[in-house]
């Protein structure tokens, strides 16, 4: 989502205009249709695929320019034996009523595994309506998960994504502007409610911090993750077809680190490549072109020699806040760049 002083009415109009595929067929079908799901973080645990999505509901919450109607209250984990097999809904893994510090809006989560424990990382607004990131644990990849009593110190905003490097170190990426409140933070200090980024300003950047050995805290202050063009320049806010908005995800391919993310109001999933988890990452192109709906949020995972992109659109409902997760194969060129995916056949 992106604001730039756009009213809800305008957003709805833009959403209609953004249904680029009117009369066309999406490249893939929803994985499940009995519930609404979004923001899928996919992982392979024990030879199976587990998907950790947001659980969209029609909560009846009033719409506002910060996404108040995205009022999710729990997480339900999906599992698959393979990318083409039947999908199982494993029920509620964590409910907001069991998170002591959380007030509302359980947005996009992620998961990780270490030493016999599964970790669910999730954003929610605290009792002061400020987004924080929490962690919950379980001995099973499908939960139920038990949340820690406080959010992770030093985290803020939304969209946690945990990357495990080949040296076994884990890093958390996070951040999202507009409704995700990243623009309210400077040098890891909360500035209160501030204006959204404007044309002519340097674009906001995602954050990274190394996780502790027990996976429940940060061992360092969060740092900005620089996304640059081929000349080494940071993107400006008006480069909104390429600049970061939300949904950072990192994966590794042939020794290189790939940071992919959503551009928000221009609806692309883009990617940049770097030499280490901290970056800088040099912009390379588009992973997935705009889908049906206002948002997109993805993950990339390898399974038995192939790479898959998990993402969402609004094929089932046609409504911005009631989405459905999907998957499709992702391919690389010989030089390591990613082949851009069209959203429609």
Give me the mean pLDDT over the 103-115 stretch.
98
pTM here is 0.94
**Per-residue model confidence (pLDDT) at position 16:** 44
The SS3 assignment for 14 reads helix
287 closest CA partner among 277, 298, 274, 278: 298
**Per-residue model confidence (pLDDT) at position 336:** 98
Q: Which residues pair with 326 in a beta bridge?
A: 311
Helix (H) or strand (E) run with residue 218 in it: none
Distance CA 153, CA 221 (A): 10
Give me the mean pLDDT over the 92-108 stretch.
98
**Per-residue model confidence (pLDDT) at position 67:** 86
Tens-place pLDDT, residues 261-305: 999 999 999 999 999 999 999 999 999 999 999 999 999 999 999
Q: How many helices (H) and strands (E) does the chain have?
A: 1, 23
Tens-place pLDDT, residues 128-185: 999 999 999 999 999 999 999 999 999 999 999 999 999 999 999 999 999 999 999 9
Render the burial of 141-158: b for 16+ CB within 10 Å, e for the rest.
bbbbbebeeebbebbbbb
Mean residue pLDDT across the chain = 93
The radius of gyration of the chain from alpha carbons, rounded to an integer in Å, stands at 18
Q: How many CB atoms lie within 10 A of CB 42?
A: 26
Give me the mean pLDDT over the 48-54 stretch.
98
**Per-residue model confidence (pLDDT) at position 13:** 41
Q: Checking DSSP bridges between strand 281-288 and strand 227-228, what pairing results, if any?
A: parallel
Catalytic annotation present for 246: yes
Residue 15 DSSP symbol: H
**Per-residue model confidence (pLDDT) at position 21:** 54
51 closest CA partner among 24, 90, 15: 90
135 closest CA partner among 172, 165, 103: 172
Q: Checking DSSP bridges between strand 102-104 and strand 117-126, what pairing results, if any?
A: antiparallel
CATH number among 3.40.920.10, 2.40.240.20, 2.60.40.10, 2.115.10.20, domain 8-330:
2.115.10.20
Position 79 pLDDT exceeds 60: yes
Percentages of the chain per state (helix, strand, coil), in multiples of 5: 5, 40, 50
The SS3 assignment for 182 reads helix
Q: Residues in the chain, how many?
A: 345
Residue 104 makes CB contacts below 8 A (sequence gap 6+) with 71, 96, 124, 125, 129
The SS3 assignment for 184 reads helix
Distance CA 65, CA 178 (A): 8
Tens-place pLDDT, residues 188-242: 999 999 988 899 999 999 999 999 999 999 999 999 999 999 999 999 999 999 9
Position 15 pLDDT exceeds 70: no
Catalytic annotation present for 230: no
Which of 110, 246, 265, 313 is flagged as catalytic? 246
Position 9 pLDDT exceeds 80: no
Distance CA 290, CA 99 (A): 34
Q: Could you write out the DSSP letters of every residue in 78-119? A: EEESSTTS-EEEEEEEEEGGG-TTEEE-----EEEEETTEEE
Which of 39, 56, 65, 110 is flagged as catalytic? 39
Distance CA 247, CA 50 (A): 18
């Amino acid at each position: 989502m992106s604001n730039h002083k756009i009213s809800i009415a305008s957003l709805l109009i833009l959403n209609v205009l953004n249904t680029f595929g009117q009369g066309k067929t999406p490249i893939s079908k929803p994985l499940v249709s009995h519930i609404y799901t979004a923001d899928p973080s996919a992982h392979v645990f024990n030879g199976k695929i587990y998907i950790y999505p947001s659980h969209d509901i029609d909560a009846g919450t009033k719409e506002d320019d910060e996404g108040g109607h995205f009022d999710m209250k729990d997480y339900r984990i999906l599992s698959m034996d393979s990318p083409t097999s039947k999908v199982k809904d494993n029920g509620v893994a964590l409910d907001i009523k069991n998170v002591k510090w959380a007030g509302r809006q359980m947005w996009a989560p992620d998961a990780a595994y270490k030493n016999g424990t599964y970790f669910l990382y999730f954003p929610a607004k605290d009792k002061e309506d400020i987004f924080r990131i929490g962690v919950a644990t379980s001995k099973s990849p499908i939960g139920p998960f038990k949340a820690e009593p406080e959010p992770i110190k030093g985290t803020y905003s939304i969209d946690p994504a945990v990357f495990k490097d080949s040296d076994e170190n884990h890093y958390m990426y996070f951040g999202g502007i507009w409704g995700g409140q990243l623009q309210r933070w400077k040098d890891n200090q909360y500035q209160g409610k501030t204006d959204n980024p404007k044309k002519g300003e340097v674009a906001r950047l995602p954050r990274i911090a190394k996780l502790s050995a027990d996976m429940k805290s940060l061992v360092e202050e969060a740092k900005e993750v620089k996304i640059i063009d081929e000349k080494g320049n940071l993107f400006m806010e008006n480069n909104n077809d390429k600049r970061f908005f939300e949904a950072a995800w990192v994966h590794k391919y042939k020794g290189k680190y790939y940071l992919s993310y959503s551009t928000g109001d221009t609806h692309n999933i883009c990617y940049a490549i770097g030499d280490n988890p901290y970056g800088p990452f040099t912009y390379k192109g588009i992973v997935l072109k705009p889908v049906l709906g206002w948002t997109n949020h993805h993950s990339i995972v390898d399974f038995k020699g192939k790479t898959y992109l998990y993402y969402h659109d609004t094929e089932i409902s046609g409504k911005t806040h009631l989405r459905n997760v999907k998957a499709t194969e992702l391919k690389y060129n010989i030089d390591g760049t990613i082949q851009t995916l069209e959203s429609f056949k």
